[in-house]
Structure formats: C-alpha cells, structure tokens
Homo-oligomer: A and B are copies of this chain.
Amino acid sequence: MPELRQDKATREWIVMATERAKRPHDFRVKRSRADITLSGEPCAFCPGNETLTPPEVAAYRRGGQPNGPGWWIRVVPNKYPALVPEGSLERKAEEGFFRKMDGVGRHEVVIESPRHDLCIPLMDDWQVEEILWAYRERFLALQKDPRFWLVIMFKNYGLGAGTSVQHPHSQIIATSVLPLNIRNKLYEAARYHDEHGRCVYCDMLNEELQIGKRIVEETDAFVVYHPFASRAPFETWIVPKAHEACFALITPDESKRFAHTLKAAWAKLHRALNDPDLNYVIHTARSAHEGRDYYHWHLQIIPRLTTPAGFELGSGIFINTALPEETAPFLGGARP
C-alpha cells in the first residue's frame, strides 16, 4: 500500500510509492564521471586563469596578488549572473498589465579548491572548513544589503544536477523577492511554534533521534538523517542539534564539526551510490533576529537519482520511490 506522508515543517504531502519502490542498492549510478565533456577550453576556475572570471569579491590566500594564483578559496561574481546588483526594486507594468521588476540580486561562485578534480568527499577536512567559512563570510556581506530578501547557498554537482563545470564550486544567490515556498516554510514554522511553543525542526530532530531508524550519523553537534517525508530517494538532512535560526551565527568550532559532518555524509552517498549527481542547499534565516524562536538552519542534500515528471510539475506533490527508513541503514552499512 503506498503511503502519503506529511512534511511537518511545510505541511506538504509526499507520496511514498512502495508499489514501485526499488531496493536501496538499485539506485547505484551506472555511468562514470567521464560524462562531463572535456571541451579543451581552459578552466576559468583553475589557478593561472583568474582573468577569465570577473574580479574576486573574496579570497583566502597566503601572499600573491588579488586575482592571481596563490589562493585556496576564491569567490567571484558569476560571469553569467541570474541576478545583478544594479537596478531598481520598483514594480513596473509591462504593457500596462503584466508585472515585472529589474533582476536585482547577487550571483556569486565559490571556487572551492585550486584543484580541478576534487569533490568535497575527497578533500581534506580543513579545505571543507574553508568553504563553509567562505559561505559565512559572503552571507554576512550580502545580508547587510537591505534589498535582499533571501540569500541562498547551494551546490550543483554533475550534469544531472544542472552543471557542466567540473572544477569544484558552489554558488550563492541573493534575491530581492521572497518566494512563495520560503514564505510558506517560515509561516508554517511560526504557526507550529505558536501552537506548541517549540521549534518544529527541534521536535523533528528529537523525534528522529528517538526513533533512530532514519539516522545516518549522530555527532555531538550535528545529526545526519533521511527525513520521514523525504521528497526523493536518499534525501539527506544535516541539522545542528543546537537551536539556531541563522547559519551565520556558527562558531569556528561548530564550523569545523559541520565541515567534518558534511564531508562524511556526502562520502557515504559517494561510496554507496557510486558518486551520484547531487544538489545541496543551506536553508537559513537571514539574521540573528528573523525567526529566532521558530526557524532552524539546516542543509539538505538531494541526490538526483530520479526525474520529477508531469505529475510533480503539475501538482507539486513529489513521488518518492524509496523509503528513508531503508535508505538510511543502507548508508550506515556503507560506513567504512
């Protein structure tokens, strides 16, 4: 019997299609990473090619000149930005009827390593820490701009996850509108807090810890788990145990632990599923004040193992063909 499960945090329903469910090992990727075409073009993110990107907005380097080699992390504006810092926030009418506005925002790329051929599961821990610290630094810089409603830090890894660039990188986009589903997420979390006096993410985390079967890993500061109402096979959440709405309030010590946890969580997926394409996104309040009592920052990893199709596009309901209580132990079993 298939099952409908409700996401406590958004009140969205997800279909757990057990009739068409696969076993966890069936999701192993068959093809190799070589599917990303080597075009022969120089990589704009490799050291020595710094002039191929717009000038950097941040970099971690010892010695050397800005926009030259010597860095281990480099943040640059996206050369083909989805949103740009210029323009007006004024709502304009197109032909008197349709509503539009300038695409105001920021679109940055975090170049995560000088090495072209790494990904987070294969990096040294300190390098992953530096990536997260760069996220924090840019987040703090961007959220100072009062025009921005949302700062979203995310990664596209692999062709199936929307990128053809192999050099390890992630992206940060700041937007001047607050999208409906973020608004809904904040609203539902506030509603839950209003009703129960507690944070829904804390409650979910504690419940998952008590149940245990969907936990992939627990450390003293973070929990890695496959949520009850997962939207996709092997959807993985990393949630800090300490209640905190805003990612940027992370301390250097927590950041170190977060880096270790992120690397380990991705490494489990990497090994168990044969290096799957994936996206990850950090969900966070914008400041220390927003949603302080009811929101809770977290990172979501979505391996791209199935293709959302007409039903998802039309209804917004996701069909998940794997049960999180089966995938989580499968990853646990893949522990080294």
Contact = CB atoms under 8 A, between A and B. Distances in A.
Interface string A1-31: 1111110101111011111100000000000
A77 B319 CA distance: 17
Given A101-B4, A203-B97, A310-B156, A82 B20 contact: yes
Q: How many copies does the complex hold?
A: 2
Contacts of A181: 315-316
Contacts of A175: 315, 317
A255 interface: no
A141 interface: no
Report the contact-size class of chain A (Cβ under 8 Å from the partner): 35 or more
Interface string A305-336: 01111110111110100000000000000000
A288 interface: no
A228 interface: yes
Interface of A: 1-6, 8, 10-13, 15-20, 80-84, 86-87, 94-95, 97-104, 150, 152, 154-156, 159-163, 171, 173, 175-177, 179-182, 184, 203, 207, 210-211, 228-229, 279-281, 283, 300, 302, 306-311, 313-317, 319
